[in-house]
Amino acid sequence: MSEIKQGVIIGFLGKTQDRFSEYQAPVTTEQKLEFVSKIDGFTGVEMVFPYENEGPAETKALMDKYGLEFAAINVNIKKETEWVPGALSRPDKGIRDRAVAMIKKAKDFAKAVGAPHVTCCPLSDGYDVLFQINYKTAWNHMVETFAEAADYLPEIPLFLEPKYSETRVHCQIDSTAKGVLLLKDIQCKNTGITIDMGHSLQSQENPAQALSLIYENGFDAYIHTNDNDTKADWDLIGASRHFLHYIELMFWAQEYGYNKYFTTDASPRIFDVLEFFNRHSEITTGAYKLAQKLNRQQILEMMRIEDYNGLMQMVNKEIYRI
Protein backbone atom coordinates (compact mmCIF):
# COMPACT_ATOMS: atom_id res chain seq x y z
CA MET A 1 0.00 0.00 0.00
CA SER A 2 1.58 3.28 -1.13
CA GLU A 3 2.18 6.16 1.26
CA ILE A 4 1.09 9.71 0.58
CA LYS A 5 3.79 12.30 -0.10
CA GLN A 6 3.04 15.81 1.14
CA GLY A 7 4.76 19.10 0.58
CA VAL A 8 4.06 22.82 0.74
CA ILE A 9 4.48 26.01 -1.25
CA ILE A 10 6.97 27.63 1.08
CA GLY A 11 5.85 31.19 0.34
CA PHE A 12 3.03 30.56 2.84
CA LEU A 13 5.50 29.96 5.66
CA GLY A 14 6.52 33.60 5.96
CA LYS A 15 4.94 37.01 5.60
CA THR A 16 1.86 37.25 3.38
CA GLN A 17 -0.49 40.13 2.71
CA ASP A 18 -3.73 41.11 1.05
CA ARG A 19 -5.35 44.47 0.39
CA PHE A 20 -6.17 44.96 4.05
CA SER A 21 -3.56 43.37 6.30
CA GLU A 22 -0.19 41.70 6.63
CA TYR A 23 0.13 38.28 8.23
CA GLN A 24 2.97 36.49 10.01
CA ALA A 25 6.61 37.57 10.11
CA PRO A 26 9.10 37.73 7.25
CA VAL A 27 11.58 34.84 7.19
CA THR A 28 14.46 33.71 5.01
CA THR A 29 14.31 30.82 2.58
CA GLU A 30 16.46 28.75 4.91
CA GLN A 31 14.08 29.44 7.79
CA LYS A 32 11.19 28.31 5.59
CA LEU A 33 12.97 25.05 4.74
CA GLU A 34 13.81 24.40 8.38
CA PHE A 35 10.13 24.99 9.18
CA VAL A 36 8.99 22.45 6.56
CA SER A 37 11.08 19.80 8.30
CA LYS A 38 9.06 20.42 11.49
CA ILE A 39 5.64 19.86 9.92
CA ASP A 40 4.28 16.36 10.52
CA GLY A 41 4.57 14.25 7.37
CA PHE A 42 5.93 16.98 5.09
CA THR A 43 9.03 16.30 2.99
CA GLY A 44 8.29 18.20 -0.24
CA VAL A 45 8.99 21.78 -1.23
CA GLU A 46 7.46 23.88 -3.99
CA MET A 47 9.73 26.91 -4.30
CA VAL A 48 8.90 30.09 -6.19
CA PHE A 49 11.43 31.06 -8.87
CA PRO A 50 13.26 33.40 -8.90
CA TYR A 51 12.27 35.03 -5.61
CA GLU A 52 13.05 32.30 -3.07
CA ASN A 53 16.28 30.99 -4.55
CA GLU A 54 19.99 31.50 -4.34
CA GLY A 55 22.13 29.64 -6.86
CA PRO A 56 21.42 25.96 -7.55
CA ALA A 57 24.36 24.74 -5.43
CA GLU A 58 23.32 26.80 -2.43
CA THR A 59 19.70 25.76 -2.79
CA LYS A 60 20.56 22.06 -3.06
CA ALA A 61 22.78 22.34 0.01
CA LEU A 62 19.90 23.82 2.04
CA MET A 63 17.48 21.14 0.84
CA ASP A 64 19.95 18.42 1.81
CA LYS A 65 20.59 20.06 5.17
CA TYR A 66 16.94 19.68 6.14
CA GLY A 67 16.31 16.35 4.40
CA LEU A 68 13.78 17.71 1.90
CA GLU A 69 12.84 16.96 -1.72
CA PHE A 70 11.50 19.18 -4.46
CA ALA A 71 7.84 18.73 -5.30
CA ALA A 72 8.10 21.38 -8.04
CA ILE A 73 9.53 24.73 -9.01
CA ASN A 74 6.83 27.42 -9.28
CA VAL A 75 7.71 30.14 -11.78
CA ASN A 76 6.23 33.56 -11.03
CA ILE A 77 5.38 35.58 -14.16
CA LYS A 78 3.12 38.16 -12.56
CA LYS A 79 5.25 40.08 -10.05
CA GLU A 80 7.41 42.23 -12.30
CA THR A 81 5.86 45.61 -13.11
CA GLU A 82 5.55 45.00 -16.84
CA TRP A 83 3.72 41.68 -16.20
CA VAL A 84 1.12 43.03 -13.78
CA PRO A 85 -1.41 43.49 -16.66
CA GLY A 86 -0.44 40.13 -18.20
CA ALA A 87 2.59 38.28 -19.49
CA LEU A 88 2.05 35.41 -21.94
CA SER A 89 -0.93 36.84 -23.84
CA ARG A 90 0.00 40.51 -24.25
CA PRO A 91 0.15 42.18 -27.70
CA ASP A 92 3.75 43.33 -27.10
CA LYS A 93 6.06 40.52 -28.26
CA GLY A 94 8.93 41.80 -26.13
CA ILE A 95 6.82 41.40 -22.98
CA ARG A 96 5.81 37.89 -24.04
CA ASP A 97 9.39 36.93 -24.88
CA ARG A 98 10.67 38.05 -21.48
CA ALA A 99 7.97 36.00 -19.75
CA VAL A 100 8.92 32.93 -21.78
CA ALA A 101 12.57 33.54 -20.92
CA MET A 102 11.66 33.52 -17.22
CA ILE A 103 9.95 30.12 -17.58
CA LYS A 104 12.98 28.77 -19.43
CA LYS A 105 15.25 30.01 -16.63
CA ALA A 106 12.99 28.25 -14.12
CA LYS A 107 13.41 25.04 -16.12
CA ASP A 108 17.18 25.49 -16.08
CA PHE A 109 17.04 25.95 -12.32
CA ALA A 110 14.76 22.92 -11.86
CA LYS A 111 17.15 20.73 -13.83
CA ALA A 112 20.14 22.00 -11.86
CA VAL A 113 18.55 21.30 -8.45
CA GLY A 114 16.85 18.03 -9.44
CA ALA A 115 13.22 19.23 -9.29
CA PRO A 116 10.81 17.01 -11.26
CA HIS A 117 8.90 19.74 -13.09
CA VAL A 118 8.01 23.43 -13.32
CA THR A 119 4.50 24.71 -12.65
CA CYS A 120 3.15 28.06 -13.83
CA CYS A 121 -0.09 29.83 -12.88
CA PRO A 122 -0.45 32.78 -15.30
CA LEU A 123 -2.78 34.75 -13.05
CA SER A 124 -2.18 38.15 -14.62
CA ASP A 125 -3.19 36.96 -18.10
CA GLY A 126 -6.86 37.70 -18.66
CA TYR A 127 -9.12 40.73 -18.45
CA ASP A 128 -11.10 42.86 -15.99
CA VAL A 129 -13.71 44.59 -18.16
CA LEU A 130 -15.45 43.77 -21.43
CA PHE A 131 -13.93 45.08 -24.68
CA GLN A 132 -10.53 45.10 -22.92
CA ILE A 133 -8.61 42.48 -24.93
CA ASN A 134 -8.66 40.82 -28.33
CA TYR A 135 -9.77 37.29 -27.38
CA LYS A 136 -8.49 35.80 -30.64
CA THR A 137 -4.95 37.13 -30.43
CA ALA A 138 -4.75 36.67 -26.65
CA TRP A 139 -5.53 32.94 -26.98
CA ASN A 140 -3.11 32.47 -29.86
CA HIS A 141 -0.37 34.26 -27.94
CA MET A 142 -0.98 31.93 -24.96
CA VAL A 143 -0.63 28.91 -27.26
CA GLU A 144 2.57 30.21 -28.86
CA THR A 145 4.29 31.31 -25.66
CA PHE A 146 3.41 28.29 -23.56
CA ALA A 147 4.38 26.00 -26.43
CA GLU A 148 7.80 27.63 -26.74
CA ALA A 149 8.37 27.29 -23.00
CA ALA A 150 7.14 23.68 -22.99
CA ASP A 151 9.41 22.66 -25.87
CA TYR A 152 12.48 23.97 -24.03
CA LEU A 153 14.22 21.29 -21.91
CA PRO A 154 11.50 18.70 -22.55
CA GLU A 155 12.93 16.49 -19.80
CA ILE A 156 11.55 19.07 -17.33
CA PRO A 157 7.78 19.01 -17.95
CA LEU A 158 5.83 22.27 -17.75
CA PHE A 159 2.54 22.24 -15.84
CA LEU A 160 -0.19 24.85 -16.31
CA GLU A 161 -2.33 25.86 -13.30
CA PRO A 162 -5.83 27.18 -14.13
CA LYS A 163 -7.71 29.63 -11.92
CA TYR A 164 -11.07 31.32 -12.38
CA SER A 165 -10.10 34.80 -11.17
CA GLU A 166 -7.37 36.77 -9.34
CA THR A 167 -5.37 38.71 -10.16
CA ARG A 168 -7.61 39.34 -13.20
CA VAL A 169 -11.40 39.32 -12.83
CA HIS A 170 -11.36 36.68 -15.58
CA CYS A 171 -8.16 34.68 -15.92
CA GLN A 172 -7.35 33.54 -19.45
CA ILE A 173 -7.12 29.88 -18.32
CA ASP A 174 -10.06 29.85 -15.91
CA SER A 175 -10.95 26.15 -15.82
CA THR A 176 -9.41 22.71 -16.08
CA ALA A 177 -11.16 22.16 -19.41
CA LYS A 178 -9.70 25.36 -20.85
CA GLY A 179 -6.25 24.33 -19.61
CA VAL A 180 -6.63 20.97 -21.34
CA LEU A 181 -7.77 22.73 -24.52
CA LEU A 182 -4.67 24.93 -24.43
CA LEU A 183 -2.41 21.89 -24.03
CA LYS A 184 -4.18 20.21 -26.94
CA ASP A 185 -3.51 23.27 -29.09
CA ILE A 186 0.13 23.27 -27.98
CA GLN A 187 0.56 19.59 -28.95
CA CYS A 188 3.48 19.02 -26.58
CA LYS A 189 3.34 15.88 -24.47
CA ASN A 190 5.84 17.23 -21.94
CA THR A 191 3.09 19.22 -20.28
CA GLY A 192 0.47 18.77 -17.62
CA ILE A 193 -2.14 20.50 -15.49
CA THR A 194 -1.64 21.56 -11.89
CA ILE A 195 -5.06 21.01 -10.39
CA ASP A 196 -5.52 23.17 -7.32
CA MET A 197 -8.52 21.90 -5.37
CA GLY A 198 -9.60 25.40 -4.36
CA HIS A 199 -9.25 26.76 -7.89
CA SER A 200 -11.32 23.87 -9.20
CA LEU A 201 -14.07 24.50 -6.63
CA GLN A 202 -14.04 28.23 -7.38
CA SER A 203 -14.60 27.38 -11.05
CA GLN A 204 -17.68 25.34 -10.01
CA GLU A 205 -15.91 22.11 -10.97
CA ASN A 206 -15.81 18.76 -9.25
CA PRO A 207 -12.06 18.31 -8.57
CA ALA A 208 -12.16 14.53 -8.98
CA GLN A 209 -13.92 14.81 -12.34
CA ALA A 210 -11.45 17.52 -13.39
CA LEU A 211 -8.56 15.20 -12.50
CA SER A 212 -10.11 12.46 -14.62
CA LEU A 213 -10.51 14.88 -17.53
CA ILE A 214 -6.77 15.61 -17.45
CA TYR A 215 -5.74 11.97 -17.49
CA GLU A 216 -8.35 10.86 -20.03
CA ASN A 217 -7.02 13.49 -22.44
CA GLY A 218 -3.53 12.04 -22.17
CA PHE A 219 -1.90 14.68 -19.96
CA ASP A 220 -0.19 14.45 -16.59
CA ALA A 221 -1.49 16.00 -13.36
CA TYR A 222 -0.01 17.59 -10.25
CA ILE A 223 -2.22 18.27 -7.22
CA HIS A 224 -2.41 21.26 -4.87
CA THR A 225 -4.47 20.71 -1.73
CA ASN A 226 -6.59 23.29 0.15
CA ASP A 227 -10.23 24.33 0.45
CA ASN A 228 -12.53 27.35 0.16
CA ASP A 229 -16.19 28.41 0.12
CA THR A 230 -16.29 28.42 -3.74
CA LYS A 231 -16.74 32.22 -3.73
CA ALA A 232 -13.05 33.10 -3.36
CA ASP A 233 -9.71 31.32 -3.18
CA TRP A 234 -9.32 31.37 0.61
CA ASP A 235 -6.61 28.64 0.74
CA LEU A 236 -8.15 27.00 3.79
CA ILE A 237 -7.08 23.76 5.46
CA GLY A 238 -8.01 20.82 3.25
CA ALA A 239 -11.48 19.27 3.77
CA SER A 240 -12.50 22.05 6.17
CA ARG A 241 -15.40 22.85 3.81
CA HIS A 242 -15.55 20.04 1.22
CA PHE A 243 -14.80 16.76 2.99
CA LEU A 244 -16.51 14.41 0.52
CA HIS A 245 -14.90 16.16 -2.46
CA TYR A 246 -11.54 15.65 -0.74
CA ILE A 247 -12.12 11.91 -0.30
CA GLU A 248 -13.35 11.53 -3.87
CA LEU A 249 -10.27 13.34 -5.20
CA MET A 250 -8.04 10.97 -3.21
CA PHE A 251 -10.02 7.98 -4.52
CA TRP A 252 -9.53 8.97 -8.16
CA ALA A 253 -5.92 10.04 -7.65
CA GLN A 254 -5.25 6.50 -6.45
CA GLU A 255 -7.29 5.05 -9.31
CA TYR A 256 -5.01 6.81 -11.79
CA GLY A 257 -1.85 5.83 -9.90
CA TYR A 258 -0.93 9.38 -8.89
CA ASN A 259 2.55 9.26 -7.29
CA LYS A 260 3.62 12.90 -7.11
CA TYR A 261 3.45 15.15 -4.08
CA PHE A 262 0.16 16.42 -2.76
CA THR A 263 1.43 19.97 -2.32
CA THR A 264 -0.25 22.24 0.19
CA ASP A 265 -1.37 25.57 -1.26
CA ALA A 266 -2.93 26.88 1.95
CA SER A 267 -2.43 30.11 3.87
CA PRO A 268 -2.44 30.27 7.69
CA ARG A 269 -3.08 34.02 7.92
CA ILE A 270 -4.42 34.42 11.50
CA PHE A 271 -3.64 30.86 12.63
CA ASP A 272 -0.56 29.46 14.34
CA VAL A 273 1.54 28.44 11.34
CA LEU A 274 2.89 25.09 12.56
CA GLU A 275 -0.43 23.88 13.94
CA PHE A 276 -2.24 25.04 10.79
CA PHE A 277 -0.06 22.87 8.59
CA ASN A 278 -0.10 19.98 11.07
CA ARG A 279 -3.90 19.96 10.87
CA HIS A 280 -3.74 20.08 7.08
CA SER A 281 -1.27 17.19 7.04
CA GLU A 282 -3.47 15.25 9.45
CA ILE A 283 -6.65 15.54 7.39
CA THR A 284 -4.89 14.94 4.06
CA THR A 285 -3.16 11.80 5.33
CA GLY A 286 -6.42 10.61 6.88
CA ALA A 287 -8.38 11.25 3.69
CA TYR A 288 -5.79 9.40 1.61
CA LYS A 289 -5.85 6.39 3.94
CA LEU A 290 -9.64 6.36 4.09
CA ALA A 291 -9.79 6.32 0.28
CA GLN A 292 -7.30 3.42 0.26
CA LYS A 293 -9.55 1.37 2.53
CA LEU A 294 -12.63 1.70 0.33
CA ASN A 295 -13.64 -1.38 -1.66
CA ARG A 296 -12.56 -0.04 -5.01
CA GLN A 297 -13.83 -2.92 -7.15
CA GLN A 298 -17.21 -2.87 -5.43
CA ILE A 299 -17.57 0.88 -5.88
CA LEU A 300 -16.66 0.77 -9.57
CA GLU A 301 -19.08 -2.12 -10.11
CA MET A 302 -21.90 -0.21 -8.39
CA MET A 303 -21.13 2.72 -10.69
CA ARG A 304 -21.26 0.40 -13.71
CA ILE A 305 -24.65 -1.06 -12.78
CA GLU A 306 -25.94 2.34 -11.61
CA ASP A 307 -26.60 1.28 -8.04
CA TYR A 308 -27.06 4.83 -6.82
CA ASN A 309 -28.60 3.92 -3.48
CA GLY A 310 -25.83 1.45 -2.81
CA LEU A 311 -23.25 4.13 -3.53
CA MET A 312 -24.98 6.60 -1.19
CA GLN A 313 -25.07 3.94 1.51
CA MET A 314 -21.36 3.32 0.99
CA VAL A 315 -20.70 7.05 1.44
CA ASN A 316 -22.77 7.13 4.63
CA LYS A 317 -21.27 4.00 6.16
CA GLU A 318 -17.67 3.97 4.92
CA ILE A 319 -16.87 7.68 4.58
CA TYR A 320 -19.16 9.60 6.92
CA ARG A 321 -19.26 6.62 9.33
CA ILE A 322 -22.92 7.08 10.30
Three-state secondary structure readout of the chain:
CCCCCEEEEHHHHCCEECCCCEECCCCCHHHHHHHHCCCCCEEEEEEEECCCCCCHHHHHHHHHHCCCEEEEEEECCCCCHHHCCCCCCCCCHHHHHHHHHHHHHHHHHHHHHCCCCEEECCCCCEECCCCCCCHHHHHHHHHHHHHHHHHCCCCCCEEECCCCCCCCCEECCCCHHHHHHHHHHHCCCCEEEEEEHHHHHHCCCCHHHHHHHHHHCCCEEEEEECECCCCCCCCECCCCCCHHHHHHHHHHHHHCCCCCCEEECCCCCCCCHHHHHHHHHHHHHHHHHHHHHCCHHHHHHHHHCCCHHHHHHHHHHHHCCC
Q: What is residue 16's predicted lDDT score, i.e. its pLDDT?
A: 85
In this structure, is residue 17 part of a structural domain? yes
In this structure, is residue 286 part of a structural domain? yes
CATH code for position 286? 3.20.20.150
Q: What's the rounded mean pLDDT across residues 225-249?
A: 97
Task: Note down the domain range covering 70.
Answer: 6-294
In this structure, is residue 1 part of a structural domain? no
Q: What's the rounded mean pLDDT across residues 259-286?
A: 97
Please state which of the ranges 47-61, 154-168, 276-290 shows the lowest mean pLDDT.
47-61
Q: Residue 280: which pLDDT band, with cuts at 50, 70 and 90?
A: very high
In this structure, is residue 320 part of a structural domain? no
Q: What is residue 287's predicted lDDT score, i.e. its pLDDT?
A: 98
Please state which of the ranges 14-28, 42-56, 148-162, 172-186 shows the lowest mean pLDDT.
14-28
In this structure, is residue 316 part of a structural domain? no
Rounded CA gap, 21 and 13, in Å?
16
Q: What's the rounded mean pLDDT across residues 223-248?
A: 97
Q: What's the rounded mean pLDDT across residues 77-89?
A: 96
In this structure, is residue 303 part of a structural domain? no
Q: What is residue 1's predicted lDDT score, i.e. its pLDDT?
A: 56
In this structure, is residue 241 part of a structural domain? yes
Contact 64, 109 (CB under 8 A): no
Q: What is residue 298's predicted lDDT score, i.e. its pLDDT?
A: 98
Please provide the average confidence, as pLDDT, over all residues in the chain: 96
In this structure, is residue 319 part of a structural domain? no
As for how many domains the chain has, the answer is: 1
Q: Residue 38: which pLDDT band, with cuts at 50, 70 and 90?
A: very high
Comparing C-alpha atoms, which of 172, 9, 11, 15 is closest to residue 87? 172
